[in-house]
């Protein structure tokens, strides 16, 4: 039904301009292009998300989210409502969050309302922001300190002397059941 045809076209001839380029050695390989920043993922007003949002990206919410969020950077817009825990490197809140918030840097704008604990390294609040919960500062682990070495070696401690073994009980000390009659 279908037959495969061989490509019988002649190779393209190089023009004099192309021949000069083909003969010239390449100076250097092209440097890799700088990494482009990832664009923010945007969820607009009128959308309801039921479930978790997870990723290492920037997310801008202006919708309702019923679930937990764990992203790189989060912007909760003025029309957004989040019901669940939120974890990110940096969080900007303009809208409503009902749940625990955890980030290195948290900023509550004048229209923000948070009902839950905020765990942070830096917390900034504008006038008018409402916050019901606890502000918990990240606790960085203290650097391990080496154990001090004793200045002098400890003296050799001899074990306490053991009491001498006692002789087996005599017939007068033998229990009644073992005495022959």
Average pLDDT of the segment spanning 47-56: 94
Q: How confident is the model at residue 19 (pLDDT cuts 50, 70, 90)?
A: low
Q: Taking the complete model, does pTM exceed 0.85, yes or no? A: no
* Residue 117 domain boundaries: 41-126
Three-state SS annotation for the chain: CCCCCCCCCCCCCCCHHHHHHHHCCCCCCCCCCCCCCCCCEEECCCCEEECCEECCCEEEECCEEECCEECCEEEECCCCEEECCEECCEEEECCEEECCEECCEEEECCCCEEECCEEECEEEECCCCEEECCEEECCCCCCCCCCCCCCCCCCCCCCCCCCCCCCCCCCCCCCHHHCCC
Tell me if 84 is assigned to some domain.
yes
Tell me if 27 is assigned to some domain.
no
List pLDDT tens digits, range 131-143. Answer: 999 999 987 666 6
Tell me if 165 is assigned to some domain.
no
Average pLDDT of the segment spanning 60-64: 95
List pLDDT tens digits, range 88-123. Answer: 999 999 999 999 999 999 999 999 999 999 999 999
Task: Please give the tally of structural domains in the chain.
Answer: 1
Tell me if 6 is assigned to some domain.
no
Tell me if 57 is assigned to some domain.
yes
Tell me if 81 is assigned to some domain.
yes
Tell me if 26 is assigned to some domain.
no
Whether 156 and 135 have beta carbons less than 8 Å apart is answered as no
Tell me if 72 is assigned to some domain.
yes
Average pLDDT of the segment spanning 4-25: 53
Instruction: Pull the structure tokens for residue 97.
Output: 């969050």
14 has pLDDT over 60: no
């Amino acid at each position: 039904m279908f037959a495969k045809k061989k490509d019988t076209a002649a190779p393209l001839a190089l023009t004099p301009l192309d021949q000069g380029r083909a003969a010239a050695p390449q100076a250097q390989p092209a440097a890799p292009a700088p990494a482009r920043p990832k664009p923010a993922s945007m969820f607009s007003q009128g959308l309801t998300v039921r479930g978790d949002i997870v990723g290492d990206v920037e997310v801008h919410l202006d919708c309702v989210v019923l679930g937990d969020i764990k992203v790189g950077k989060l912007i909760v817009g003025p029309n957004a409502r989040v019901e669940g825990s939120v974890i990110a490197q940096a969080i900007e809140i303009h809208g409503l969050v009902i749940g625990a918030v955890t980030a290195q840097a948290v900023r509550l704008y004048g229209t923000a309302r948070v009902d839950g604990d905020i765990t942070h390294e830096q917390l900034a609040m504008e006038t008018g922001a409402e916050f019901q919960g606890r502000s918990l500062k990240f606790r960085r682990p203290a650097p391990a300190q080496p154990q001090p070495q004793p200045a002098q070696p400890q003296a050799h401690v001899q074990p306490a002397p053991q009491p001498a073994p006692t002789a087996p009980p005599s017939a007068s000390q033998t229990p009644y059941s073992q005495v022959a009659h």
